[in-house]
Amino acid sequence: ELKVEQNPLFLSMQEGKNYTIYCNYSTTSDRLYWYRQDPGKSLESLFVLLSNGAVKQEGRLMASLDTKARLSTLHITAAVHDLSATYFCAVDKEDFGNEKLTFGTGTRLTIIP
């Protein structure tokens, strides 16, 4: 059974600081996704990482994937209040012809002015 673990689960950081959220998964994977969720809102797709060494950046967020280590990171540069949200990673694995997208428990990020 595929397990996806994120850490930290809660993160409170000051504006302007840098930090990294980690996503570990238990078996080989085909694809990895990062999503953002604001309170009471839907999940918004941030990044899709398709191969080992993939790196994608959008604004102050950068995601990377190391399939050998089964690890993805979401790096936040010079945080601003608008980035406060819950961030989920999700791992996609082909399993006997069925694709299963398994989500981590999420990292609740709070940016303090």
Partner 1 sequence: EAGVVQSPRYKIIEKKQPVAFWCNPISGHNTLYWYLQNLGQGPELLIRYENEEAVDDSQLPKDRFSAERLKGVDSTLKIQPAELGDSAVYLCASSRRLAGGWTGELFFGEGSRLTVL
List of residues contacting partner 1 (CB under 8 A): 4, 30-31, 33, 35, 40-45, 48, 88, 90, 92, 98-106
- Closest CB 16 distance from partner 1, rounded Å: 28
Residue number with CB closer to partner 1 (15 or 94): 94
Q: Quickly tell me which residue has 């918004």 as its tokens.
A: 44
The residue among 40 and 113 lying less far from partner 1, judged by its C-beta, is 40
